[in-house]
Structure 1
Amino acid sequence: MMNALERRSTFALSSIFALRMLGLFMIIPVFAVEGTSYQYATPALIGFAVGVYGLSQAILQIPFSLWADRFSRKPLIIFGLLLFALGGAVAAMSHTIYGVIIGRAIAGAGAVSAVVMALLADVTREEQRTKAMAIMGMSIGLSFVVAFSIGPWLTGLLGISGLFWVTTVMGLLAIFMLLLVPKTTRHHQKHNFDQGYLKQLKSVLKMADLNRLHFSVFSLHLLLTAMFIYVPSQLIEYGQIPLAKHGFVYLPLLLIGVLFAFPSIIVAEKYRKMRGIFLTAITGVILGLLVLVFGFTSKYILLLGLGLFFVAFNVMEALLPSWLSKAAPIQSKATAMGVNASAQFLGAFCGGTLGGQLLTLHQTAIGWSILLLIAVVWLVISFGLKQPRYLSSLVLTLPPEQDTNVLTQHILAVKGVEEVVVMAQQNVAYVKLDKRVLTDDGRQYLTQLFGKDLAI
């Protein structure tokens, strides 16, 4: 059961993620059609405008995350959200497709997704981590539901420039949510900060399972972005559904996906079946695309294929952050999440660019087949994943009038303890440990430090 601090922090950080993603996602289902109104617009440039935020995100996620492992995470998040808001304003005031591309690139430069995830990992216990990360994943899924439902409606009401102004407002609102998150101080068993940024990054890039997770998030968001450049025109042509009503298509499909995601997360965590659920979700993506290859000309087959994709997508969005938080090295947690976020947004960039190119093919079955092939390669690569390890957490009240730094050094000296996160204002510390490594002597020593029996 989450405690009050975890609930408040999870709500705030998930809201930051959702508000930011809401601003980004509202553009996706309408821009392939509405983007043609901009001067100099072509299908390729429209796809590039949708995906370019992913390119700047991909480039800057890793620098932001390297800094976040060494410095306070909150100021970095604020700076990134200000860039996001500025980019929305630039796009809103633009009259050419090139201006929109510049605005989207600036918005993407606020590359703090990994920093937000790392901060959430700091303020939640290991036993509640999957739940917290699942809630964050669900917030992304919910932002899809809302964005794809109201995006077409808001475009009709405010125009495409008004939609960009809404993204600016979303970014500014997200800054205020950060006030609900407690200030944290992190203490680690291992310190790699003296080896330089490049060695720190290389140590993360050498981990095979992390690289498989990075490829997974790249593939997922490539397919998602390409699909929403590619599918609106098909809903209009084959489904006879006007753009303004596309939200009524996406809403029920995404809600069904969210309903499937919750039990999947419970099974994955409670029964430690994360790998099996993960591979099943990729198979669901493949089945959805296979249906679209052969049935896109039928309105209801087209909707069936989209539904299968959305179910699998929501499960994956919930699983990936949780698995990554378990697999990432504690002392380089933000760095690993930064590489993952870079892969995610690079996938969005490639998906936007690919989707624009698919529009020029005028061979719909070939387009869906290309996306299907990418999903099959993803499944093959993911078979090498191993089940993640599971740590435990203790929530401890700090003893009065004791030097926190000295206390944390004593705790970290215990074999099996990997990290201590201190929230001094709340007088609380989270001790993250591996019960399989912790010895009886270690348990007794921790009991002596805190003057009471600990449930380990």
Structure 2
Amino acid sequence: MMNALERRSTFALSSIFALRMLGLFMIIPVFSVAGQAYEGATPALIGLAVGVYGLTQAILQIPFSLIADRYSRKPLIVFGLLLFALGGAIAAMSDTIYGVIIGRAIAGGGAVSAVVMALLADVTREEQRSKAMAMMGMSIGLSFVIAFSLGPWLTSLVGISGLFWVTTIMGMLAISMLLLVPKVTRHHKNFQQGYFVQLKEVLKMKDLNRLHVSVFSLHLLLTAMFIYVPLQLINYAKIPLSSHGLIYLPLLVLSLFFAFPSIILAEKYRKMRGIFLTAIGGIILGLIFMIFGFESKYILLLGLGLFFIAFNVMEALLPSWLSKAAPIQSKATAMGVNASGQFLGAFCGGILGGQLIMLNNTAMGWGILTVIAIIWLIISFGLSQPRYLSSLVLRLPETKQTDEWTSQLLAIRGIEEVLVMPEQQVAYVKVDKLQIDDTARQHLTHLLGKEVVI
């Protein structure tokens, strides 16, 4: 079970993700029409205004995450959210499409997705990580559905500039959520190296690269599907666009009943690789249903339901697996590369979704997406089971300096990282049980003054 600190931190950091995504997603269903009112607007520039956010996100995730592995994560998140809010304000005050493009680019400059995930990994124990990541994944999916429902309604009330102001407000609210997250000081075995060497080392790890391919493929398929499927829901299921949010929301909620047990199985019984590959299989099965049954309302919804279940499992497992597989001293860097893959996947998925509509062959379109998912599955078969660490929750000593205490802990074989929360007077000690031997247990018992069960 999560402790109170983990629940509070997970809620706060998930809310930061959800508030950012809500502000961004509300623009998507309305801007292709409302954006035509801007001076100088053309279809290409309207598309650029929507997509430039993802492009700057993809470019800047890695620099932000490299810095986050050297310095405190919370100030970086605040800086990124301020950029996000500033970009929304610039877009809100713009009369030309170029001003909107500049505002969206600046908002995308607050590329702190990976930093937020790294902070969540810091403040949760290894055994609770998948649950925390699952909640964050759910918050993203829920914000997507709510945004597509709220966007048109809010635009009718406050206009497109008002919608950008809502984005700014949400950015400021997200900053306030950081007050709920404890201050964390990270201590680990020091492997000091240059930024480019650190990035190069991360990019050389084959399993991490397979996870980067996975997040790229997952968000390519998701974005392409959300561009491709609305017309089919209208034409074949006879569901009007204004009601699509009412379809996505129940499917998302239903998927939670399947996703959470899968995540618990993956973590508790160390079946992460098997659940991961099964989820990709679920995505393929959902797409196959849509190849052959898109003309049937119920088969189309069944295919969407399978896709949502598998997507939510993957959305939770990917960051959890990444945090296990990444070198501890380069955790944010690995998450930054992964986040860049996510945004590039969404960018490519948007382009692909438009091309699929132009095919005028619905079955072939779903077939192309299925082939992409099958290639993804083949690549993922090379994944090895991740390393599983355990967490000890210890009170900070009253008689020793914290830095001296953490140094002594890190000198013990099998102790990988110590995360200190001074305000709560506790530390999370991350342990590799396979590395702990009798000598290490004796050293740990001597240091703590009591025997610890590991």
TM-score (norm 1): 0.93
Q: Could you tell me how far apart the structure 1 residues matched to 2:98 and 2:232 are?
A: 26
Matched ranges for 1:72-151 at <5 A:
72-94=72-94, 97-151=97-151
Instruction: Find out whether 1:307 has 2:305 as its counterpart.
Output: yes
- Cα distance change, pair 301–39 in 1 and its aligned pair in 2 (3 A): farther
Matched ranges for 1:33-432 at <5 A:
46-94=46-94, 97-189=97-189, 191-193=190-192, 195-432=193-430
Unaligned runs of 5+ in 1: none
- Cα distance change, pair 287–94 in 1 and its aligned pair in 2 (3 A): farther
TM-score (norm 2): 0.93
Residue 249 of structure 1: SS of its match in structure 2? Answer: helix
Match for residue 441 of structure 1?
439
Q: Could you tell me how far apart the structure 2 residues matched to 1:150 and 1:228 are?
A: 16
Query: CA shift at 1:101, angstroms?
Result: 3.5
- Cα distance change, pair 310–31 in 1 and its aligned pair in 2 (3 A): farther
- Cα distance change, pair 90–308 in 1 and its aligned pair in 2 (3 A): farther
Q: Could you tell me how far apart the structure 1 residues matched to 2:218 and 2:21 are?
A: 16
- Cα distance change, pair 45–163 in 1 and its aligned pair in 2 (3 A): same
Query: CA shift at 1:47, angstroms?
Result: 4.7
Deviations 1:274-320 (A, max 9, x none): 11111121122222222333333444433333222212111111111
Tell me which moved more, 48-57 or 197-206: 48-57
- Cα distance change, pair 263–27 in 1 and its aligned pair in 2 (3 A): farther
Q: Which amino acid aligns with 1:329?
A: P
Asked if the contact 1:44–1:353 (Cα under 8 Å) also holds between the matched residues in 2, the reply is no
Tell me which moved more, 54-63 or 162-171: 162-171
Aligned residues: 454
Residue 71 of structure 1: SS of its match in structure 2? Answer: coil
Asked if the contact 1:215–1:378 (Cα under 8 Å) also holds between the matched residues in 2, the reply is yes
Asked if the contact 2:134–2:312 (Cα under 8 Å) also holds between the matched residues in 1, the reply is no
Query: CA shift at 1:208, angstroms?
Result: 0.7
RMSD: 2.2
Query: CA shift at 1:186, angstroms?
Result: 0.9
Q: Could you tell me how far apart the structure 2 residues matched to 1:49 and 1:352 are?
A: 13
Instruction: Find out whether 1:23 has 2:23 as its counterpart.
Output: yes
Query: CA shift at 1:99, angstroms?
Result: 4.2
Instruction: Find out whether 1:454 has 2:417 as its counterpart.
Output: no
- Cα distance change, pair 91–290 in 1 and its aligned pair in 2 (3 A): farther
Q: Could you tell me how far apart the structure 2 residues matched to 1:185 and 1:451 are?
A: 23
Q: Which amino acid aligns with 1:274?
A: M
Asked if the contact 2:149–2:242 (Cα under 8 Å) also holds between the matched residues in 1, the reply is no
Query: CA shift at 1:395, angstroms?
Result: 0.9
Deviations 1:370-408 (A, max 9, x none): 322221211111111111111011111111131111111
- Cα distance change, pair 51–357 in 1 and its aligned pair in 2 (3 A): farther
Q: Which amino acid aligns with 2:408?
A: H
Unaligned runs of 5+ in 2: none
Q: Which amino acid aligns with 1:65?
A: S
Deviations 1:16-72 (A, max 9, x none): 112112222333444456556656666665554443322111110000000000011
Q: Could you tell me how far apart the structure 1 residues matched to 2:329 and 2:362 are?
A: 47
Quick one: percent identity of the two aligned structures?
78
Query: CA shift at 1:206, angstroms?
Result: 0.8
